[in-house]
């Protein structure tokens, strides 16, 4: 995490907690005078609305303007994580328990792909229920996951 990202997290987290949402991810793209800051948020149970994202955007902009941590122009985007966002962290998997996923992971240095339903997501492993078995995958072996849509 770079210094600007760390500063932004520190500034935005109090607002995020006060508003009852969770920070899913924070991305900073671009360079000096043309930064794009993307803040992905959701309720703990999911289902954040566009109206709530707009409200959070205004609150974040107010906070950023007061603290003046970004010199130059920037664009702030606040949105939900979306269904096509890759599952990268244990938090991502735990928020999606019960959903069908495709997981890419390493087993003895060989990349493998499985599909199934997330049963558990703990600090050290994710459990995926497949047709005939339950696969326990250590978190450090997971490269990525993706929610499988029903259509």
How long is the chain?
151
Domain ranges of the chain: 3-79, 90-147
This prediction's pTM: 0.74
- 34: Cβ–Cβ under 8 A, 6 or more apart, which residues? 72, 73, 74
Residue 1 reports pLDDT greater than 80: no
**Least confident span in 1-10, 16-25, 114-123, 131-140:** 1-10
Which percentage of the chain shows pLDDT scores above 70?
A: 99
- Residue 44 has a pLDDT of 83
Please name the fold of domain 90-147: SH3 type barrels. (2.30.30)
Each residue of 24-78: pLDDT tens digit?
A: 999 999 877 789 999 999 988 788 999 999 999 999 999 998 888 887 788 999 9
Only one residue has tokens 């492993």, namely 125
Residue 151 reports pLDDT greater than 80: no
Residue 126 reports pLDDT greater than 80: yes
Instruction: Give the residue among 135, 129, 142 at the shortest CA–CA distance from 88.
Output: 142
Residue 130 reports pLDDT greater than 90: yes
- Residue 83 has a pLDDT of 76
Instruction: Tell me the longest C-alpha to C-alpha distance in the chain.
Output: 56
Instruction: Report how far residue 28's alpha carbon sits from residue 57's, in angstroms, rounded to the nearest whole number.
Output: 15
Half-sphere exposure of 15 (CA within 13 A, CB side): 19
* One-character DSSP codes across 67-134: HT---S-EEEEEE---TTSPB-SHHHHHTTTTSEEEEEEEETTEEEEEEEEEEEE-SSEEEEE-SS-E
CATH of 3-79, one of 3.30.1330.10, 3.30.300.70, 3.90.1170.40, 1.10.1040.50: 3.30.300.70
Each residue of 82-117: pLDDT tens digit?
A: 878 888 888 889 888 999 999 999 998 899 999 999
């Amino acid at each position: 995490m770079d210094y600007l990202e760390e500063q932004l997290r520190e500034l935005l987290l109090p607002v995020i907690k006060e508003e009852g949402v969770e920070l899913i991810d924070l991305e900073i793209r671009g360079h000096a005078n043309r930064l794009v800051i993307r803040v992905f948020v959701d309720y703990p149970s999911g289902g954040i609305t566009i109206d709530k994202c707009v409200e959070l955007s205004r609150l974040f902009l107010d906070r950023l303007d007061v603290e003046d941590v970004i010199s130059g122009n920037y664009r702030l985007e606040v949105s939900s994580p979306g269904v096509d966002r890759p599952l990268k962290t244990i938090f991502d998997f735990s928020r999606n328990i019960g959903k069908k996923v495709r997981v890419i992971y390493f087993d003895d240095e060989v990349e493998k792909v499985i599909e199934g339903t997330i049963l558990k997501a703990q600090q050290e492993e994710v459990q995926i229920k497949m047709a005939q078995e339950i696969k326990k995958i250590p978190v450090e072996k997971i490269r990525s996951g993706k929610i499988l849509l029903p259509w």
